[in-house]
């Protein structure tokens, strides 16, 4: 009897434990009974956070996250109205609004399936918005408008999943790699052409400056030489004038001094050889102190 009572008590405890469940804060739960969601009146019953009751053994609980969630997928390719490709990286903030609809459309509240369906709808909404705009309109000022219209478009389509779209944001817009490489090559070629033009202009200006400097130097040298010749000529003239004035004052003395200079220059070296006649005019001051 004691064993039977223990078995009965254990079964009661097991049924009691199986008849309660806890819904955590930030979650909601629905209960399925024989593959049908438990309803409260005409609406599916959604269990709020706290301790809840269910029929043991036959009821299955499905928990769903009621908080705002992020969907940050991989960058996707979109085509503009100019038939130009863009690589767009975006993210979405969303939460479950209709738990019954979400449960039924996502195979029992499968979050991965919900994310896949939602990503497809978001890409379709963004694709339609990008397809009506040019690249210039997308990148130069209408991104807020694009995001707002994409939010409206995606919200309408996401409501069929029981999802509320909180926000749609475009994080980054890039050109495809092959297009970027082509643009970078063209920009590099343009910059190189501009640099070459600037270098050519610099060389031309350098040659002009060099020619001007050379011309200025030539003029300065010529002017200096002219001034030097003028100064030398003035000096020679002044020396000749002084010689002339000295000669007129005492011609004999001047002749004597010039003869002494000539003797000194002629006999400066022992290797010098001078062949003259004894009656030469050159030795007149050596024969007579009067030079006669």
CATH number for position 170:
3.30.479.30
Same domain, 134 and 162: yes
Domain range holding 211?
Answer: 195-247
pLDDT of residue 282: 63
Does 108 reside within a domain?
A: yes
Which residues 6+ apart lie within 8 Å of 5 measured at CB?
none
Same domain, 77 and 170: yes
Does 117 reside within a domain?
A: yes
Q: Output the tens digit of pLDDT for each of the chain's 292 residues.
A: 577 777 677 666 777 777 888 899 989 998 888 878 888 888 888 889 998 888 888 888 889 989 998 888 788 888 888 888 888 888 889 898 888 888 888 888 888 888 888 888 888 888 887 888 777 777 766 667 777 777 887 887 788 888 888 888 888 878 777 666 666 777 888 888 888 888 999 998 999 999 899 999 999 999 999 999 999 988 888 888 887 777 777 666 777 777 777 767 766 666 666 666 666 666 666 666 555 5
Same domain, 258 and 211: no
Residue 227 structure tokens: 């001034």
Give the whole-angstrom CA distance, residue 177 versus residue 191: 21
pLDDT of residue 292: 53
Task: Tell me whether strands 85-96 and 163-174 are parallel, antiparallel or unpaired.
Answer: antiparallel
**Which residue in the block uniquely carries the two structure tokens 């050889």?**
273
Could you give phi then psi for residue 165, rounded to 5 degrees? -85, 120
Same domain, 61 and 88: no
Same domain, 114 and 171: yes
Q: Which of 71, 74, 75, 80 is nearest to 129 (CA)?
A: 80
Does 184 reside within a domain?
A: no
Give the whole-angstrom CA distance, residue 57 versus residue 1: 26
Same domain, 138 and 219: no
Does 283 reside within a domain?
A: yes
Does 224 reside within a domain?
A: yes
3 state DSSP class of 59 = strand
Give the whole-angstrom CA distance, residue 216 versus residue 210: 10
Give the whole-angstrom CA distance, residue 136 versus residue 138: 5
Same domain, 90 and 103: yes
Same domain, 8 and 104: no
Does 189 reside within a domain?
A: no
Give the whole-angstrom CA distance, residue 47 versus residue 25: 11
Could you give phi then psi for residue 191, rounded to 5 degrees? -65, -40
Same domain, 6 and 88: no
Residue 174 structure tokens: 């890039």
Number of domains in the chain: 4
């Amino acid at each position: 009897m004691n064993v039977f009572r223990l078995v009965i008590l254990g079964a009661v405890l097991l049924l009691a434990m199986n008849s309660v469940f806890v819904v955590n804060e930030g979650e909601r739960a629905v209960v399925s009974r024989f593959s049908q969601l438990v309803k409260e009146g005409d609406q599916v019953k959604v269990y709020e956070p706290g301790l809840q009751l269910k029929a043991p053994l036959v009821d299955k609980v499905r928990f769903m996250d009621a908080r705002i969630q992020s969907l940050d997928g991989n960058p996707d390719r979109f085509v503009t109205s100019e038939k130009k490709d863009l690589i767009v990286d975006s993210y979405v903030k969303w939460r479950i609004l209709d738990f019954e609809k979400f449960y039924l459309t996502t195979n029992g509240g499968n979050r991965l399936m919900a994310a896949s369906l939602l990503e497809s709808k978001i890409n379709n909404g963004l694709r339609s918005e990008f397809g009506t705009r040019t690249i210039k309109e997308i990148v130069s000022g209408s991104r807020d408008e694009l995001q707002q219209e994409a939010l409206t478009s995606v919200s309408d389509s996401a409501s069929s999943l029981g999802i509320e779209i909180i926000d749609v944001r475009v994080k980054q817009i890039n050109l495809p790699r092959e297009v970027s490489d082509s643009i970078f090559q063209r920009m590099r070629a343009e910059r190189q052409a501009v640099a070459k033009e600037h270098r050519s202009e610099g060389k031309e200006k350098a040659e002009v400056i060099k020619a001007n400097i050379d011309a200025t130097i030539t003029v300065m040298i010529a002017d200096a030489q002219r001034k030097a010749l003028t100064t030398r000529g003035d000096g020679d003239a002044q020396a000749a004038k002084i010689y002339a004035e000295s000669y007129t004052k005492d011609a004999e003395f001047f002749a004597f001094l010039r003869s002494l200079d000539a003797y000194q220059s002629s006999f400066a070296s022992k290797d010098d050889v001078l062949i003259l006649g004894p009656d030469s005019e050159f030795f007149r001051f050596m024969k007579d102190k009067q030079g006669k």
